Chain A
Amino acid sequence: MIQLIDVKKTFDDGKTVLKGISTTFEAGKTNLIIGQSGSGKTVLMKCIVGLFEPSSGQILYHDRDFVTMNKKDRMLLRREMGMIFQSAALFDSISVLENVMFPLDMFSYDSYKERRRRAQFCLDRVNLSDAGEKFPGEISGGMQKRVAIARAISLNPKYLFCDEPNSGLDPKTSLVIDELIHSITQEYGTTTIINTHDMNSVMGIGEHIIYIYEGNREWEGTKDEVMTSDNENLNSFIFASDLFRKIKDANK
């Protein structure tokens, strides 16, 4: 479980991007942060994982405050995290299998054979059993995302973060990625936070959704509630798509 308490972020140029966000992301659920481009959702995600320091507020990982934690404890906590970046962020000078093995090589004290077996298991889990010897540049964008998922789960993380996991992918591949993240969340009981503006993901796997509008938590609910909400800003975001407007009209 991750709790955010009044998280604010103001940059050096004086621009306040997060204006006091409080929410709770529960374990074993796919938690989605949605919002328009520039609303602050990426900044929020970066604050949660520690790539940005919040100006004020608390970020509690199972009651451990990440903001006030010392460097050593932060490093240890980070080993409980897995992250899938928008660009997959695979290390392009090493093979797919070596990418997945990297966190194990760095932090696991298992034998080489064990580590390799674990990495292959993770690749099997994301249906990439035969891609281990390839290099990231030789595989498609969807496969790269799946390798990123395999790398993220290799150390059995407690917390899984996904920044725009479907960015640049076709709808069918996006569905595969969403399903994979959702099933891994349930299987491992991870606290999963997905940063997205893909409405298909919202409707498919959004067990807990927070909508960020101009740096504020504007709305919070589930995928079933999102369609019937009377929040104007949320509605203008959700029903910007012609398809979703038609679905709403059909449900009336």
Chain B
Amino acid sequence: MLLSSYLHALGRYLILMGRVFSIPERFKMYLRQYIKEMIKLGTDSIVIVLIVSFFIGAVICIQIKVNIESAWMPHWVSGYVTREIMLLEFSSSIMCLILSGKVGSNIATEIGTMRVTQQIDALEIMGVNSASYLILPKIAGMITMMPLLVILSTFSGIMGAYAAAYIGHILTPAHLTEGLQYDFHPWFFWMGVVKSLFFAFIITSVPAYYGYRVEGGSVEVGKASTDAVVASSMLVLFSDIFLTRLLS
């Protein structure tokens, strides 16, 4: 029964995606929406990405220095671990998990409200492919902006680690720099970017699906928003395992 309902939902999601990825009626209108979505979903998320990453970078650096580093560990270990965590997991996966809350609830609520206030019906009556017009620019906008957010997150995390070094005096900036540069593999950076592209697709398309199929009123919109965040977060976590194994 549960499996059947999951398969049913998957089928509906795939049908919706089929409608989303169709040829736009008027490319100019989609382009306008695409730019709006890049600003709304991407640019407007920069501040939260910078703040969260800065503090997490600082905390990782302090934790490693205080709890892991010892006389038997090299002095660069704090910087090295901070870089690896930020590049491999935090800036791509955990940041997307955080963004799935912000972006996911935003998308599900917006589309769900449009559904219950008949704005989607109005688009359909006009002869507009509402699924494509509303969802495609969001997916494209987020996929475009996500690599930038990953880069900013990594950068901000490292700045946080430097702040811990300079302000907290828990390690010397020279040791931190040495650790950050030690045994660097550029592929780790690209792996984070590639993973984030998949996550960007998940955190936009899944909430859009939940919002698009809302029936009822404000209570149902709220429920769809919550369900969307839960589902997209779970999917990010599951796909993280597979992507990490695949790309490592």
Contacts and interface: CB of A to CB of B under 8 A. Distances in A.
A85 B26 contact: no
Contacts, number: 56
A78 B125 contact: yes
Nearest to B118: A89
A76 B128 CA distance: 10
Interface residues of B, number: 15
Contacts of A20: none
Contact of B126 (A79, A86, A87): A79
B215 interface: no
Contact of B119 (A50, A78, A91, A105): A91
B4 to A, nearest CB: 15
Interface in B104-148: 117-119, 121-122, 124-129
Contact of B127 (A78, A87, A91): A78
Interface in A87-109: 87, 89-92, 102-103, 105-107
A79 B26 contact: no
B170 interface: no
A108 B29 CA distance: 12
B122 A85 contact: yes
Nearest to B120: A89
A7 interface: no
B121 A85 contact: yes
A140 to B, nearest CB: 17
B26 A106 contact: yes
B25 interface: yes
A91 B122 CA distance: 9
Contacts of A74: 127
Interface string B13-41: 00000000000011011000000000000
What are the nearest 8 A-B pairs in CB distance? A78-B127, A89-B118, A89-B122, A79-B127, A83-B125, A85-B118, A75-B127, A89-B119
Given A89-B118, A92-B117, 6 more contacts: A78-B126, A82-B125, A83-B125, A103-B126, A105-B26, A161-B125
